[in-house]
Structure 1
Amino acid sequence: MSNYLYIFGTLFFTVYGQIILKWRLSKLEISLPEGILTKLVYLTKLILDPLIFSGFASAFIASLFWMGAMTKFEITTAYPFMSLAPAFVFIIGILFLGETFTIGKIAGLILIIIGTIVTVRF
């Protein structure tokens, strides 16, 4: 059971990275400028923001957890769990970021969860 901590860590840090990036960018309320040079300067400034940087760092940490998971599981067992990341992002986005949801999104979320269970169990 402790081997599943590698998958949990991968999911946690993947979801954290996505949520923190969206939250921080929405707080900055700045849109992407026109022109390649101004975009590069803008994106460089964003990367240096500590919270945004933590989102990128979490992606790296998620990769380390994923490498651990790959040593403990077959990829056909571990990878279906990664489909839960969009489900967690969906739920957290609604609860903490005020994102909208529809019946179609809820149905899709349920199908993702059912599909994960079926893939892993059977």
Structure 2
Amino acid sequence: MYVWCTFLGEKPFQVTHNGPLFAQGHYTGCSTPPPDKCRAQVDLQRLEAYDGHWHAVKHKDSGWTKCSGRLTTPGLKCVHDGHKETYNTQVTLQVEYHGRFSEPGIADSHNTVIDC
């Protein structure tokens, strides 16, 4: 028997024009029966030009909890200096069922390029 949930990372977004930048993930479904608990993490990542690697700039961890809802990082304050940078959302999900834990699943959203 496979027990699972899916957790989708949304492209980074701003609620208001020139406002902070957020990363968010949300559950899209679970198996029947569902896991007993899930642990989701969401990272707002920035692609660093100097080394070509993604670095987390904001992070949110749900802890072990029910497998539903949304998880949003704290906002990254944007300093508009005319220099655009590339961001994405990375989500990690791990499930627990009857005392057994899955390997973490990791996925990235589409990128967004913004002056932030």
TM-score range, shorter chain: under 0.3
- If the length of structure 2 is used for normalisation, what is the TM-score? 0.26
- If the length of structure 1 is used for normalisation, what is the TM-score? 0.25
User: Whose relative contact order is higher, 1 or 2, with alpha carbons under 8 Å and at least 6 apart?
Assistant: 1
Structure richer in helix, relative to its length = 1
